[in-house]
């Protein structure tokens, strides 16, 4: 199968592409090395992937529709996994325009080209951020998501609405997967787990926003990749599906787990919760189990151990 992965040089994309190549798919990767973090990490990912004859890389921005059109003309793309985005709640508050441009206009470009070139299946990467500070837990796909608390959340809700509209108008097969805090080897260095591990390992203070009671539903990267691949193979008409672990972990407990796996104590500085941060994420994964036969297997303890082992091996590069 010919599969286009946007944002494929990043954390999630590079893991997904590795798995797709292993099973024999031909993968076209589009990435522009967004400056959210050091581009050398993404270049390292691409160097490893480029050794496979079934992989091609294009340094393109998804806002440049003319460059994208050249790729669509050259390859008969059957499936698109649209991961490219301006990530980060806090970054979206600092710079909402860039977030909206990339996450909304970029998604619109992908949808328009998919329509014009008759792509069979699209997977859109959405986010648990769309739920905001929802009081009804666990978060079900049926919940009304009309109270976003960050521009990033708005951009992902809009992306889902665009996907719904294009499905309705043009009968395009689209699956929106709502990712819940994905972590694992090669995780972005600005994300909590990576940042905490690095700081604790180097005996530097970490910042805990709030009293430690805020909770996240952490999803290990291999579980997420399996869900994406099942979405590729199933090819729904239109669905929105949560992808999480289904068991939130408190921030103070997460820090304790990291301390245990590193064998070092954290120096903690407490600050007020930041604007845009939600108190809790908690995925209802019944729909994923039913439609994708999804069953996450990596617990937070095992996942942190795997991340720490990877970090120790590659920390000089990071």
For 31, 42, 85, 119, the CA distances from 92, given in Å and listed in that order, are 20, 21, 11, 30
| Residue of 163, 183, 125, 160 lying closest to 311 (CA atoms) | 183
Catalytic site includes residue 314 = no
- Out of 37, 131, 152, 245, pick the active-site residue: 152
Spatial contact of 111 and 166, defined as CB atoms under 8 Å apart: yes
CA distance 211 to 190: 21
Asked if the bond preceding 91 is cis, omega within 30° of 0, the reply is: no
User: What burial class does residue 133 get, using C-beta atoms within 10 Å of its C-beta: 0-12 exposed, 13-18 middle, 19+ buried?
Assistant: exposed
- SS3 string of 236-264? CCEEEEEECCCCCEEHHHHHHHHHHHHCC
Asked if the bond preceding 43 is cis, omega within 30° of 0, the reply is: no
CA distance 242 to 278: 17
> 239-258 b/e with 16+ CB inside 10 Å = b?
bbbbbbbbebbebeebbebb
Continuous segment of H or E residues that includes residue 96: helix 96-100
Take residue 247 and report the two structure tokens written for it.
Answer: 């068991």
CA distance 308 to 305: 5
| Residue of 277, 59, 318 lying closest to 152 (CA atoms) | 277
Q: Which residues are catalytic?
A: 152
């Amino acid at each position: 199968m010919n599969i286009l992965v946007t944002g494929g040089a990043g954390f999630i994309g590079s893991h997904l592409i590795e798995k797709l190549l292993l099973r024999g798919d031909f993968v076209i990767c589009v990435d522009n090395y967004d400056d959210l973090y050091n581009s050398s990490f993404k270049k390292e990912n691409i160097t490893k992937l480029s050794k496979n004859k079934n992989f091609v890389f294009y340094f393109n921005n998804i806002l440049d529709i003319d460059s994208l059109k050249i790729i669509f003309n050259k390859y008969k793309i059957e499936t698109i996994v649209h991961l490219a985005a301006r990530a980060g709640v806090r970054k979206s508050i600092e710079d909402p325009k860039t977030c909206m441009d990339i996450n909304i206009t970029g998604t619109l470009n992908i949808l328009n080209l998919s329509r014009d070139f008759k792509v069979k299946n699209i997977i859109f990467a959405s986010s648990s951020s769309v739920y905001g500070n929802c009081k009804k837990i666990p978060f079900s796909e049926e919940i009304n998501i009309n109270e976003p608390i960050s521009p990033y959340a708005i951009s992902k809700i809009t992306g889902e609405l665009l996907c719904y509209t294009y499905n309705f108008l043009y009968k395009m097969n689209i699956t929106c997967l709502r990712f819940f805090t994905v972590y694992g080897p090669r995780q972005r260095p600005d994300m909590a787990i990576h940042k905490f591990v690095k700081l604790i390992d180097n005996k530097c203070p970490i910042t805990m926003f709030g009293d430690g009671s805020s909770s996240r539903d952490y999803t290990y990267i291999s579980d997420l990749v399996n869900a994406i691949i099942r979405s590729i193979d199933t090819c729904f008409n239109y669905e929105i599906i949560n992808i999480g672990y289904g068991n939130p972990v408190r921030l103070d407990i997460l820090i304790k787990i990291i301390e245990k796996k590193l064998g070092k104590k954290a120096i903690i500085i407490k600050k007020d919760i930041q604007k845009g941060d939600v108190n809790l994420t908690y995925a209802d994964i019944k729909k994923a189990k039913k439609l994708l036969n999804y069953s996450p297997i990596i617990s937070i303890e095992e996942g942190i151990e795997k991340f720490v082992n990877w970090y120790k091996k590659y920390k000089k590069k990071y």
